[in-house]
Structure 1
C-alpha cells in the first residue's frame, strides 16, 4: 500500500523560484513554436482539425506569456 502522508518540504528560495518561473516561461515559448510548426505542416497537409488544435495551443501559450509580460520570448512586440 502506498502512503499518502504528505512530506513537509522547505519553500524555494527567491532565486530558485525566479529560475523555475523563467524555465516555465521558456518551455511555454518552446511549446508555442512547436505548435506553430505543427500548424504550418497541418495546413500544408489540409489537416484542418490539426491546424485548429495547434492554433488553440498557440493561443493558450501566447496568453500565458502575455500575462507574464514575456511576449518577447516568441518575438512578439508587446
Structure 2
C-alpha cells in the first residue's frame, strides 16, 4: 500500500511540474507517466481520466498546504501575530 501511495505522489508531483511548464493541454497523461517513471496504464489504475487526476491533484495540494499551515500555527499567540506569520 505504501508503494501505491508513493507512485501516486510521483504522478501528482510530475503532473504539477508539467502543467506548470506546459499548461493543462500540453501535458498529456503519457507525458505525466513518463516523467513519474510509471507505465501509462498505471496512471489509469489510479485515475479514470485526466480530469479526475486534476481534481485529486487539487486535493493533494490543498492537503499539503493545510499541513504546512497547521505545523506553523501557534494557537497560544495573539490572532494578529498568527495571521501575519503566513505572509
TM-score (norm 2): 0.35
Q: Tell which has more relative contact order, 1 or 2 (C-alpha 8 A, sep 6+).
A: 1
Pick the structure with greater CA Rg.
1
TM-score (norm 1): 0.39
